[in-house]
């Protein structure tokens, strides 16, 4: 069994703004601070567990690029509190779980799995690519599919789009490897 955590890999969630007052808001990269991913020696499946209480705003994004100075520390903490308490209801649903099968073709995995988030489970398609020295898994989550109402403020004139993007980056050295049967 192989297990990696936030020490070896990174898991990020990207949110995008919309609405009449979206010009005063920010797209965000949010980092999952505590998670683990495990797979057996035959690399036939994987399980990931993420701590819903460990999400932290890494930085705001401007035109898709990090804008570290765009948010004050107070704003970051308020956003994190809203995500954990109001969006994910992490006190009731502290663990996000993803269980998947791995199929192999030419040494490259195809991931098909089920995500359990905020008390609901749904099938989630995942794409996998290699970018330099990292294996990158990406998925798009439609928040309402999990009973999550996207965050909104100012009577809905400022809100987060219902689709968020999730990205997991694992160094190639730690990737699951198909084993001969």
Residue 45 to residue 101: CA distance in whole angstroms: 4
Give the pTM.
0.90
Considering only CA atoms, which of 125, 96, 122 is closest in space to residue 111? 125
Percent of the chain with pLDDT over 70: 93
E strand or H helix at 153: strand 152-153
> Which residues of the chain are under the pLDDT cut of 70?
21, 24, 107, 155-156, 178-181
Q: Please provide residue 180's backbone torsions phi and psi, each rounded to the nearest 5 degrees.
A: -65, 140
159: left (phi over 0), alpha (psi -120 to 50) or beta: beta
pLDDT for 57: 96
Angle value at C-alpha 114, between 131 and 160, nearest 5 degrees: 70
């Amino acid at each position: 069994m192989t297990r990696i955590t936030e020490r070896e890999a990174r898991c990020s969630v990207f949110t995008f703004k919309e609405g009449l007052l979206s010009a005063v808001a920010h797209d965000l990269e949010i980092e999952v601070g505590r998670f683990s991913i495990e797979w057996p020696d035959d690399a036939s499946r994987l399980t990931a567990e993420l701590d819903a209480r460990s999400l932290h705003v890494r930085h705001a994004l401007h035109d898709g690029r990090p804008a570290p100075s765009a948010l004050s520390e107070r704003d970051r903490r308020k956003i994190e509190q809203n995500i954990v308490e109001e969006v994910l209801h992490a006190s009731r649903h502290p663990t996000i779980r993803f269980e998947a099968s791995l199929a192999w073709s030419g040494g490259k995995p195809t991931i098909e799995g089920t995500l359990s988030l905020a008390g609901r489970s749904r099938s989630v398609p995942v794409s996998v690519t290699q970018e330099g020295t990292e294996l990158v898994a990406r998925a798009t989550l439609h928040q309402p599919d999990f009973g999550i109402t996207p965050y909104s403020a100012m009577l809905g004139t400022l809100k987060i789009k219902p689709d968020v993007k999730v990205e997991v980056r694992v160094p190639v050295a730690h990737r699951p490897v198909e084993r001969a049967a």
